[in-house]
Amino acid sequence: MSNSSNSVHLHRVLRAPASRIYQAFLNPDALCRWLPPYGYVGNIDRFDLQQGGGFHMTFTNFANDHSHSFTSSFVELIPNEKIRLADEFDDPALAAEMTKTITLKPVSCGTELEILHEGLPESIPAEMCYLGWQESLLQLANLVEADLSPVE
């Protein structure tokens, strides 16, 4: 976790090629499957995959139906290497200039993934964001590390 009180830094090595992980960040169906933390369902109602484009996503708590939504804008897209997003919650009480930088680097056993999520609203404790990311990254690993090729 980052030392800054309004940011989190995550590092993982995944047993998957960078191209598969990159696609998991840019495919709306994949995002809805892995990005919402445990207990939440994701829905994307707008998606424009290009630099300057972005998406609008809602996380809904399955147990109590409460939800929050946000817009992510693609600031930088370097295929299979880097994604930079600017995020904004729809709720004005959560106003903040958030950015997420996702960096992918091939390594001998897969891909090194680094995420820096900066500018969290003061009302969201960094440790809660970090916990949510940990859950999301476990779900990402389950998605991208699965070898579903047919047995020959």
* Section 78-85 average pLDDT: 98
41-51 pLDDT per residue, tens: 999 999 999 99
Question: Given this model, what pLDDT does residue 150 score?
Answer: 60
Q: Which of 29, 60, 34 is nearest to 113 (CA)?
A: 34
The strands making up 82-89's β-sheet, listed across from edge to edge, are: 7-14, 110-118, 98-107, 82-89, 67-78, 54-61, 40-48
Three-class secondary structure of residue 101 per DSSP = strand
Alpha-carbon span 123 to 117, nearest angstrom: 15
Whether the per-residue pLDDT at 141 is higher than 80: the answer is yes
* Section 19-38 average pLDDT: 96
Band (2; pLDDT cuts 50, 70, 90) = very low
Whether the per-residue pLDDT at 122 is higher than 90: the answer is no
| 90 vs 22, residue with greater confidence | 22
Question: Given this model, what pLDDT does residue 1 score?
Answer: 38
Question: Given this model, what pLDDT does residue 102 score?
Answer: 98
**Average pLDDT score, the chain:** 91
Whether the per-residue pLDDT at 5 is higher than 90: the answer is no
Whether the per-residue pLDDT at 3 is higher than 50: the answer is no
Residue spans of the domains in the chain: they are 7-144
Phi and psi at residue 123, to the nearest 5° = -80, -5
* Section 57-86 average pLDDT: 95
- Alpha-helical (H) ranges within 18-89 are 18-26, 28-34
Alpha-carbon span 75 to 104, nearest angstrom: 16
Domain 7-144 has CATH 3.30.530.20: yes
DSSP lists the bridge partners of residue 116 as 9, 101
Beta strands (DSSP E) in 98-137 are 98-107, 110-118
**Hey, CA dihedral for 38, 40, 43, 47, is it positive or negative?**
negative
Alpha-carbon span 134 to 12, nearest angstrom: 10
Give the tokens for residue 69: 């939504």
